[in-house]
Amino acid sequence: MSSVAQPVAPADKAAPSYDRSIVEGPLLPAVWRIAWPTMLQNVIGGLQGVIDHAMVGHYVGYTGNAAIGVSLQLFIVVVVFISSLFTGMSVLVARFAGAGDRQKVNRTVYQAFLTAVVLAVGVLAPAGYFLAPTLLDVVNAAPEVQAEALPYLRIMFGFSFGMLIFFMLGGALRSAGDARTPLRIGAVVTALNITLNVVFIRGLGPIPAFGTTGAAIGTVIATGSVAIYALFALSRGTWVVRFPKGGPWAPDWDIIRALFRFGLPAGIQGIAMNVGGVFMLAFIGSLALSAQAQAAYAVAYTELFSLVTWTSIGLMGAVATVAGQNLGAGFPDRANAAAHLAARIAFAGAACIGLLYLFIPRVLLGVFGMDDPVVVELGVQLLRFLSVSGVFIATALTYTGALQGTGDTRSPLYISIISQVVLPLGICFTIQAFATLQPEHIWSAILVGHIARSLLSQWRFRQGQWRDIAVDIGDARAS
C-alpha cells in the first residue's frame, strides 16, 4: 500500500486546494458531491446523441439512425485505446491528490496530454480515415447505411483531438475532486453542439443540409473549440489541476509507463467490449430485417439505455475518485465502504429507469422519429430485456469504478472479456449454428452478459486484493 506522508512541492498560490472532505468527511456526501455533477453532465451530454438521432431520424430516416449507431460503435472501438491512458491518469491523480502531492498531480496531467496529442494526431486520424470503409464492411452495414456512415465516421476520426482533450480534462478534474468544472464545460459543449447540429443537419440560410454528416461536423467543432479554451486554462493554472509551472516539458517516460501500466488494461477492456459490440452488430446485420434491427438497436440500446449508463457512469467515476483518494490517504476501509454505497444507489436508479422501458416504450421510441412498425416492435422488445439488464450493468459499473480507482485495472479487463465477449457472442454463434438466429436471441445474450459482469465484478472487489496496490512515479527531472 502506498504511504500516506509524502514530501510535497509548494502549492501554486493561484490554484484551488484539494477537497479534503473526500478523505476526512462522511462518505455519502463525498460520493454524492462527485457523482451528481458527473451524472448531470452525462445527461446533458447525452442530449447531444439524443438530438443527433432525433433530428437525423426526422430528416434522413431510420437509415441515418442506423448510420450514427454503427459509426459511433466503430469510433469508440478505436478511440477507446487512446483514451485508456486517461484511466491511468485518473488512478495516479486520485492517489496523489489523496496524498496531497500537487506536483505529481500536475506532472501526470501534462504527460497524459502530451501522449494523447501524439496518438490522436499521429495514429487515430490517418488510420481511422483509411480504415473506415473496411470497418463498415466488418459490421455488415447495409449499403444505404454505409453511404450515410462513411463521411460521418471519417470526420469523427480526423478531428477527434478536441474530444480526447475534453475526456482528459474531465477525468483529471474529477479525480482531483472537482466535478463541477467538468459539468460547466460539458454544458457549454452540449449547448454549442446542439446549436451547430440544428444548423448543419437541417441547413440554415446559405449553409446546406448535411444530414447525417452534419451531426459529425457539429460535434467536432464544438469539442474542438472547448478543447482550445481548456488548454489555455490548464496553462494559466486557475483550476485544481494544471500543467506544471515552469516545466519540465519533455516526455517523462516514468509517468508515461505508469499511464499505460494502469490505463492499458482499461483500454484493452474497452476495445474487447466494443469489438464484442461490433460483432453483435454483425449478428444483427445477418438478420432478415437487418436495417430495421440495427435502427432499433441504435436507438433502444445506444441512446435510451444511456439513461441507465449516464447515472451509473457518474457513480463509477465518483467511487473511483473517492476510493482512489482514500487509498492514497491510507484509508482502505473508507474506499471499501464507498464502493458498496455507490452500488446501492446505482441499483435503485436503474430499477426506476427500467420501469419507463416497460410502461412507455413506444413514447420513448417516438422521440426519435421512429414510426416504422417493424422498427418500433423490435425496439419495444429490446427495451423489455433492457429493463432487467439495467440493474445488473449499473452495479457492475460501480464496482468496476472501485477496482479501477484503486489501481486494479486488470480484473475488469478479464471480467469484461468473459461477460461482454465470450458469453453473448458464444450464445449468438451457437444459436446461429444450430437454428435460425432471431432478435430476441441477441437481446437475451446481452442480458446474460450483463448479469455475469455484475456478479463477477462484485466477487472480485470483495476479495480485497486492491488494498495492496502501490502507485508512484518518482521525482521530477529538469527538462
User: Of residues 435 and 143, which shows the higher confidence score?
Assistant: 435
Tens-place pLDDT, residues 287-340: 888 888 888 888 888 778 888 888 888 899 899 999 999 999 999 999 999 999
In a domain, 444, yes or no: yes
Q: Locate 380 and state its grid cell.
A: 419495444
Q: Locate 68 and state its grid cell.
A: 450514427
In a domain, 469, yes or no: no
pLDDT grade for 9, boundaries at 50, 70 and 90 = very low
Say what the pLDDT of residue 167 is.
86
Mention every residue, 6+ apart, whose C-beta is less than 8 A from residue 423: 445, 448, 449, 452
**In Å, how far are 259, 357, 369, 422, 473 from 401, measured between CA atoms?**
17, 26, 35, 22, 22
CB atoms within 10 A of CB 318: 30
Please tell me the total count of domains within the chain. 1
- Mapped onto helix, strand or coil, the DSSP state of residue 204 is strand
Say what the pLDDT of residue 340 is.
95
Say what the pLDDT of residue 403 is.
96
In a domain, 428, yes or no: yes
Burial (CB count <10 Å: 0-12, 13-18, 19+), residue 418: middle
End-to-end CA distance of the chain: 30
pLDDT grade for 96, boundaries at 50, 70 and 90 = very high
Say what the pLDDT of residue 52 is.
67
In a domain, 476, yes or no: no
Mean pLDDT for the chain? Answer: 86
Residue linked to cell 454463434? 429
In a domain, 45, yes or no: yes
pLDDT grade for 3, boundaries at 50, 70 and 90 = very low
* Range in 41-55, 229-243, 287-301 with the lowest mean pLDDT: 41-55
- By residue range, what is the domain housing residue 35? 25-464
d(CA 237, CA 231): 10
In a domain, 19, yes or no: no
What DSSP state is assigned to residue 250? S
For residue 1, pLDDT beyond 50: no
In a domain, 451, yes or no: yes
**In Å, how far are 120, 380, 448 from 237, measured between CA atoms?**
24, 49, 47
The identity of residue 471, as a single letter, is V
Most confident range (mean pLDDT) of 1-15, 207-221, 300-314, 451-465 is: 451-465
CB 58 within 8 A of CB 201: no
The H or E element spanning position 198 is helix 180-202
DSSP 315-378: HHHHHHHHHHHHHHTT-HHHHHHHHHHHHHHHHHHHHHHHHHHHH-HHHHHHTTT---HHHHHH
In a domain, 1, yes or no: no
d(CA 390, CA 447): 9
Q: Locate 1 and state its grid cell.
A: 500500500
User: Of residues 135 and 456, which shows the higher confidence score?
Assistant: 456
The backbone torsions φ and ψ at residue 331, rounded to the nearest 5 degrees and listed phi first, read -125, 70
* Residue 207: strand pairing partners: 204
d(CA 241, CA 222): 23
What DSSP state is assigned to residue 11? P
Say what the pLDDT of residue 247 is.
75
Contacts of 196-204 spanning 24+ positions with Cβ under 8 A: 196/221, 196/222, 197/48, 197/51, 197/52, 197/55, 198/55, 201/52, 201/55, 201/56, 201/59, 202/55, 202/59
d(CA 402, CA 272): 20
pLDDT grade for 391, boundaries at 50, 70 and 90 = very high
For residue 12, pLDDT beyond 50: no
User: Of residues 6 and 116, which shows the higher confidence score?
Assistant: 116
pLDDT grade for 49, boundaries at 50, 70 and 90 = low
Mention every residue, 6+ apart, whose C-beta is less than 8 A from residue 421: 272, 273, 275, 276
Q: Locate 220 and state its grid cell.
A: 467536432
- Mapped onto helix, strand or coil, the DSSP state of residue 182 is helix
